[in-house]
Structure formats: structure tokens, C-alpha cells
Amino acid sequence: MNTIKPLILAIDNGTQSVRALLFDTQGNLVGKGKQEIEPYFSEQPGWAEQHPEYFWENLGKACQLLWKNTDALPTQVAGVTLTTQRGTVVNLDEHGKPLRPAIIWLDQRHARVEGPVPGLWGWLFKLIRLEPTVDRIREKTQANWIAQNQPEIWAATRHYLLLSGYLNYRLTGQFRDSVGSQVGYIPFDYKRHQWAGPRDFK
């Protein structure tokens, strides 16, 4: 008779630390590991970046601390969940290698807004006086800044991921992410749970 109890490993990559928490199927905490991290570095005023590999390495350290603080075994893990800081983006090349440091959600740089949103959507935003709001979103979207200021990196980008997607990729080798991890300025259709279509203003 198999008496090994299945456990759930929950990983939380926040701004200040990475935590690895182990729960049984009744929701009881079985063990935990916490690894403090350096939130970001700043090469210019207002910038906030961190190397994607740094997050991955510290996820591993948090898990190592977990297994030192519990009698449970890694073979008991039946599932893994992952949450991360929101709005942190990673550019990967065709081989899945980072092209630049991740831009952290705290970053203050702004892209240029080059004209109104094209087509019918632009007219609609102007008519209902949403144009300034949409322009602020365009300014703060990291992809726009990268495309304008580092076009060679944007041209080489094959996968553009949130931090959650990057860590999922490192854990599984697959480019997958949760609907719950998306942010409002990603071109995603939340009603249909799929990428926004060509007629969607996003």
C-alpha cells in the first residue's frame, strides 16, 4: 500500500524575496524556504532592472532552503504553482536566452507616443475622451520603449514574457503562462481567454 502523501509546492517570486512553500492536500503548511533578493539595479535615473537568470537562481535557492527545513521529500510533490511580481517583462531570443535585463514593474521610463491609435479605435478614443488615458498606457508599456530605443533587441526578440512566463519556461521548458498572471496592457482578450484579435485596439 502506498502511504506517500502528495504535496503541493507553491513558489512566490515577489519584489523582496522568493518563497517556496510546501502544502499538503488539506492546505496545511508542511515546510517553507525564503530567499531574500536584490529588487533591482538602476543604470540610469528612474530605471529598475534585474537579470532574468538572477530570479531563476534565487528560485532554486529558495527551494533548497525549503528541503533543508522539512522532512518531506521532493518525490512527494504532485503539483507546482507559481506567482510572481506583476508587470516585469523578459525578452528572449529564438533559443530562449535573455537578450537584456528584465524591466521591473517599478521602472519609470516612458516611450514616445507617436500619433493617435490608428483606425476606428483612434477616432473612438478621441470621441469619448479616452485618448489621454490610452496614451499614458502606451507611454508606460515597456515593449514600446524597447522597440523605440533598442530596436536591435526588439528585432531579435522571439519570446516576450512576463516574469511568470519566464519562470514557467525555466521550470517546464514550455512557453506557458496563467491567465491570472496577465496585465491590462498585454494584448490579451480576457473574455475569450486568448490573444487579442487584429481588430482589438490592444
Beta bridge partners of 160: 91
Predicted pLDDT at 63: 98
Predicted pLDDT at 1: 41
Predicted pLDDT at 155: 98
Domains of the chain: 7-195 (3.30.420.40)
Q: Which one-letter amino acid corresponds to residue 94?
A: E
Distance (Å, whole) CA 25 – CA 152: 48
Percent helix / strand / coil, the chain, rounded to 5? 35, 25, 45
Mind listing the pLDDT tens digit for each residue in 79-115? 999 999 999 999 999 999 999 999 999 999 999 998 9
Band of pLDDT at residue 128, cut at 50, 70 and 90 = very high
Strand 102-103 and strand 188-189: pairing?
A: unpaired
Element (H, E) at 169: helix 163-172
- Residue-level length of the chain: 202
Find which of 73-77, 176-180, 192-196 is predicted with most confidence, using mean pLDDT.
73-77
Residue with cell 529588487: 39
Q: Give me the mean pLDDT over the 114-124 stretch.
A: 90
Distance (Å, whole) CA 163 – CA 50: 11
Q: pTM of the predicted model, to two decimals?
A: 0.92
Burial of 80 (0-12, 13-18, 19+ CB in 10 A): middle
Predicted pLDDT at 179: 86
Predicted pLDDT at 2: 52
Element (H, E) at 189: strand 188-189
Distance (Å, whole) CA 128 – CA 31: 53
Element (H, E) at 50: strand 49-50
